[in-house]
Amino acid sequence: MAKPAIMTVDDDAEVLGAVERDLRRRYAEHYRVMRSGSGTTALDALRGLKKRNDPVGLLLVDQRMPEMTGVEFLGQSMEIYPDAKRVLLTAYADTDAAIHAINDAKIHHYLLKPWDPPEEHLYPVLDDLLEEWQASFRPSFEGVRILGHRWSPDSYAIRDFLARNQVPYRWFDLETADKDAEVRRLASAVEPDPSRLPVVLFPDGSSLAAPGTTQLAERLGLRVRADLPFYDLMIVGGGPAGLAAAVYGASEGLKTVMIEREAPGGQAGMSSRIENYLGFPSGLSGGDLARRAVAQAKRFGVEILSPQEAQSVRVEGPSRMVKLGDGSELGCKVLLLATGVSYRKLDVPGAERLQGRGVYYGSAMTEAMSCQGEDVYIIGGANSAGQAAMYFSKYARRVIMLIRGGSLSTSMSQYLIDQIKQTPNIQVETRARVAELHGDGHLEAMSIHCGESGQIEKVPTNSLFVFIGAEPNTDWLVRTVERDARGFILTGNDLMRDGKPPSGWLLDRDPYLLETSVPGIFAVGDVRHGSVKRVASGVGEGSVAVQFIHQYLSAV
Ligand SMILES: Cc1cc2nc3c(=O)[nH]c(=O)nc-3n(C[C@H](O)[C@H](O)[C@H](O)COP(=O)(O)OP(=O)(O)OC[C@H]3O[C@@H](n4cnc5c(N)ncnc54)[C@H](O)[C@@H]3O)c2cc1C
């Protein structure tokens, strides 16, 4: 953490130099002594410190300055650093003004010029004030800060991106500026351009206005470009299945690269608590699982490029070439597809317009704090929806689950059903579906169709989390590998028709288990036709696939 600052301000260069010298002599070891020749430049300097989140312990300011008096400066400084100790330096003639300023500008002390010897007239006063300041000083948060609007999809995308990439951040919601002085202070220091929000502030004082996730990733030092042009194994998708394949592949000597378009962890990374994964009797969060798996993969030398999207594949003899979102192309001997599934979009009026403005797909755990004391709606009756309900119930006033069926028992694990029953602020509405979403700028209400009564009820809410059905992330593979009618990738035996491999298959062997209709391209996890949609099965498939990859490589 940066040393707290002591700032002295005076337009008289000689006096300023003398004060600075005396301050440095006593305080330089523990404080950063700063000087300024006018109130305006000093206020700018304070705003700069605020942007970096650096602490300020004390301001020592001359009263008589031409463009802004010391009292005026100290008054304005309170909007930026209200907790800094404020000391006025005055001539004997200004004593009355100084005494008034104790009340008006809430200064903590005034000192008379000259202050020689400082051991007698300066240090005892400042020591006392700094001791008092230290006693109540709480070191500030040193990570990334985001200043933006709660209802902005861009703000949400950045918070979600940082959370899923395990980058600690603090969120400053401009909507709360009237209630939260810290938000007001940061906003006045940053003076953001309203058309370029959110602003992301870094610990070194630099900032990015309305950055894209790639720009942000580069600024944070995340890896988005590969070291090599060609790998033994390229894995597309960094969920549990892809990560397991990466760990096994790299640990068995394959030069491995992984391409992930959002953040390693996949859907599992969005889970607040996975309770059925072997070896974790009290469960673990998806974020924890992702962090551990990424560390393990990196330890074996896997290169993880994220965020980076795979956009198309072409086969060139024994090489599989993948075009990436930044326009570059990477080659490999074996390609493993582990792109999982995404939630189906809600197809009702208002849903598209309000996405990221109160309507979220998946559990959007970053929103939990903002939902405090509110009513939150969840659509869906599977485990993912149940976990989200449990998670939000700790923050929201009420969580209302809307399910199409008559009960949760057909779609949700019993342990979650039991937990939901025992949580008084979760309410399950059966045979209910959303008919329309309303809101100007953000979600304000929704119309719910009740199947039992046939009535439509309009309820107020600011937050809706959608967990309906899943679609495989395979649009980019349409002309590459065979898929089923819903877009899931066919592998192994599922490709065989009347005991014969698919047309275009030129090898004199059948496709291996987990191999697609193109030799040397494998698919694992949720994206695969017939897969069991669970973390453990994805991990299992990812691990097993490496065995067949070795067999394939031994023959090319
Ligand atoms: C909220 C929630 C809670 C869950 N809880 C549990 C639980 O408690 N227990 C359990 O067993 N299962 C649970 N599941 C299911 C489990 O998470 C999934 O079955 C598992 O994550 C599937 O792993 P996967 O690797 O196949 O795919 P995914 O986890 O879907 O990962 C696929 C990855 O591929 C990336 N990707 C997609 N397309 C591209 C592309 N073109 N280029 C680059 N990257 C791409 C995606 O960004 C994603 O990160 C839960 C799911 C959710 C959503």
Model confidence pLDDT, tens digit, residues 160-191: 999 889 898 999 999 999 999 999 999 999 99
Using alpha carbons, select from 381, 433, 439, 441 the residue that is nearest to residue 407: 381
Residue pLDDT, tens place only, 407-416: 999 889 999 9
- Expressed in angstroms and rounded, the spacing between residue 455 Cα and the centre of ligand 1 is 36
- Ligand 1 atom nearest to 525, measured from its CA: 26
- Expressed in angstroms and rounded, the spacing between residue 441 Cα and the centre of ligand 1 is 30
Please report the pLDDT score of residue 133 as a whole number: 94
Please report the pLDDT score of residue 320 as a whole number: 98
Contacts 24+ apart (CB under 8 A), 191-195: 192/147
Please report the pLDDT score of residue 106 as a whole number: 84
Please report the pLDDT score of residue 273 as a whole number: 86
- Ligand 1 atom nearest to 259, measured from its CA: 43
Using alpha carbons, select from 137, 197, 211 the residue that is nearest to residue 167: 211
Using alpha carbons, select from 67, 57, 121 the residue that is nearest to residue 89: 121
The torsion angle over the Cα atoms of residues 498, 500, 503 and 507, rounded to 10 degrees, is 180
- Hey, how many other C-beta atoms are within 10 angstroms of the C-beta on 68? 18
- The tokens of 247 are what? 């760990």
20 sits in which H/E element: helix 13-27
Percent of the chain having pLDDT more than 90?
A: 84
Q: Residue 529 contacts by C-beta under 8 Å, 6 or more apart in sequence? A: 483, 484, 488, 489, 490, 491, 494
The residue whose CB lies within 8 Å of the most ligand 1 atoms, and thus the one to mutate among 475, 535, 537, 539, is 535
Q: What is the mean pLDDT of residues 6-15?
A: 96
Using alpha carbons, select from 301, 304, 275, 31 the residue that is nearest to residue 166: 304
- Expressed in angstroms and rounded, the spacing between residue 238 Cα and the centre of ligand 1 is 8
Residue pLDDT, tens place only, 267-287: 998 888 898 899 988 889 998
- Ligand 1 atom nearest to 237, measured from its CA: 34
The torsion angle over the Cα atoms of residues 137, 141, 145 and 148, rounded to 10 degrees, is -50
- Expressed in angstroms and rounded, the spacing between residue 520 Cα and the centre of ligand 1 is 23
- Tell me the sheet residues that pair with 56: 5
Ligand 1 proximal residues by C-beta, below 6 Å: 236-242, 259-262, 266-268, 270-271, 274-276, 309-310, 338-341, 362-363, 383-384, 387, 473, 476, 525-527, 533-536, 538
- Expressed in angstroms and rounded, the spacing between residue 470 Cα and the centre of ligand 1 is 10
- Expressed in angstroms and rounded, the spacing between residue 385 Cα and the centre of ligand 1 is 14
- The tokens of 432 are what? 């209910």
Q: Which segment of 242-251, 364-373, 506-515, 540-549 scores lowest on mean pLDDT?
A: 364-373
- Does residue 363 contact residue 343 with C-beta atoms inside 8 Å? no
Rounded Cα distance, 516 and 501, in Å: 11
- Hey, how many other C-beta atoms are within 10 angstroms of the C-beta on 494? 18
- Ligand 1 atom nearest to 343, measured from its CA: 53
- Does residue 74 contact residue 107 with C-beta atoms inside 8 Å? yes
- Hey, how many other C-beta atoms are within 10 angstroms of the C-beta on 73? 26
Q: What confidence category does residue 92 fall into, taking pLDDT thresholds of 50, 70 and 90? A: confident
Rounded Cα distance, 329 and 323, in Å: 4
Q: Residue 317 contacts by C-beta under 8 Å, 6 or more apart in sequence? A: none
The model carries a pTM of 0.82
Rounded Cα distance, 448 and 436, in Å: 7
Q: Any idea what the Cα angle at residue 397 is, between residues 169 and 436, rounded to 5°?
A: 90
In 388-502, beta strands by DSSP E: 398-402, 426-429, 432-438, 445-450, 456-460, 463-466, 470-472
User: In this structure, which residue's CA is closest to atom 39 in ligand 1?
Assistant: 339
> Integer distance in angstroms from the first to the last C-alpha of the chain?
55
The residue whose CB lies within 8 Å of the most ligand 1 atoms, and thus the one to mutate among 213, 267, 289, 415, is 267
Percent of the chain having pLDDT more than 70?
A: 100
Rounded Cα distance, 444 and 436, in Å: 11
- Expressed in angstroms and rounded, the spacing between residue 421 Cα and the centre of ligand 1 is 27
Q: What confidence category does residue 136 fall into, taking pLDDT thresholds of 50, 70 and 90? A: confident
User: In this structure, which residue's CA is closest to atom 13 in ligand 1?
Assistant: 534
- Expressed in angstroms and rounded, the spacing between residue 157 Cα and the centre of ligand 1 is 18
User: In this structure, which residue's CA is closest to atom 20 in ligand 1?
Assistant: 535
Please report the pLDDT score of residue 138 as a whole number: 83
Q: What's the mean pLDDT when you consider all of the chain?
A: 94
Residue pLDDT, tens place only, 26-72: 999 999 999 999 999 999 999 999 999 999 999 999 999 999 999 99
Please report the pLDDT score of residue 407 as a whole number: 94
- Ligand 1 atom nearest to 388, measured from its CA: 1
Rounded Cα distance, 238 and 267, in Å: 9
Rounded Cα distance, 61 and 502, in Å: 83
The residue whose CB lies within 8 Å of the most ligand 1 atoms, and thus the one to mutate among 262, 337, 339, is 339
- Expressed in angstroms and rounded, the spacing between residue 82 Cα and the centre of ligand 1 is 46
User: Residue 295 burial (CB < 10 Å; 0-12/13-18/19+)?
Assistant: exposed
241 sits in which H/E element: helix 240-251
Indicate if the pLDDT at residue 365 is higher than 90: no
- The tokens of 475 are what? 């649009």
- Expressed in angstroms and rounded, the spacing between residue 266 Cα and the centre of ligand 1 is 4
Q: What is the mean pLDDT of residues 325-341?
A: 97
